[in-house]
Structure 1
Amino acid sequence: MNARFPRQVRVRARAEFDRAFQQGRRTASPLFSLHFVAGPPPARLGLAVSRKVDPHAVGRNRIKRVLRDAFRRLRPQLAAGDYVVVARKAAADSENKALREGFMSLLQRAGTLPQAGMDGTIPPAAPAAPSSHPASDDRSDGSSLPA
């Protein structure tokens, strides 16, 4: 797997961010807000982590680093378009694992990432056991309703 995050998979220009905010479909969670605009491949990521989220640059950079890594790993499965993630205050206090899981669940809720287990690997349900009640009842009045 290519571990790089090249320029062509980044939302960089202000106009691209504005388009995502104005035309994008918004999905939110306590950690993030996601604005998604369908578009041509490849899937691209834009991040907005303000000083209101964490006043320290090291904290903001950690959030961005975790989100970039998660996006890089999920990119082959994602729908084509622009993904702009806006971090919320709760993200600063969350561990890296919680940030990754929150990002993945947000992508699933937005409908851009398939749900886990949707690839057909779950075994089918067991067939229903035959009922111990007969299908029809021999009643004197000729009706076939169960007792």
Structure 2
Amino acid sequence: MVDVSAKQPTIRLAIARGRVRMNHETLTQIKQDQIKKGNVLAVAQVAGIMGAKSCSQIIPLCHPISISKVTVSFALQEGVYPEPLSCAVDIESQVKCKGETGVEMEALSAVSIAALTVFDMCKAVSKDMRIENVRVVEKLGGKSGHWKESE
């Protein structure tokens, strides 16, 4: 691991986003809470939070970080992409801490684990879902300061 002991603790924030594309039937079943495994978005939200908290346990050189806040939220997109995967569950995570190193990996882990959970819970309905566009869109804190994805 990189030695961060000389760095001053600052407020760190990272926002990550990603998407699970799917067909209309799958999104309809998510919206109507008809997926046999349970409420997809509730389970994926908890899984994403757990993913952020477990980041240093699954990524070998990641520092264990005392996270002060994790949020995982969803936006349902209906009919905005070409068929057959015309719908999506958009995922956003925000992770915050006060520390010597950033929380980008924790935010990415939250989105990734939430997306994998959506996929796992819905795969019996549709096997052609696609996880895509997982990325950091904003970070704040540390030597590099504020960075935001250009639109």
TM-score band by shorter chain is under 0.3
Higher relative contact order (CA 8 A, sep 6+): 2
TM-score by length of structure 2 reads 0.26
Greater Rg by CA: 1
More helix by share: 1
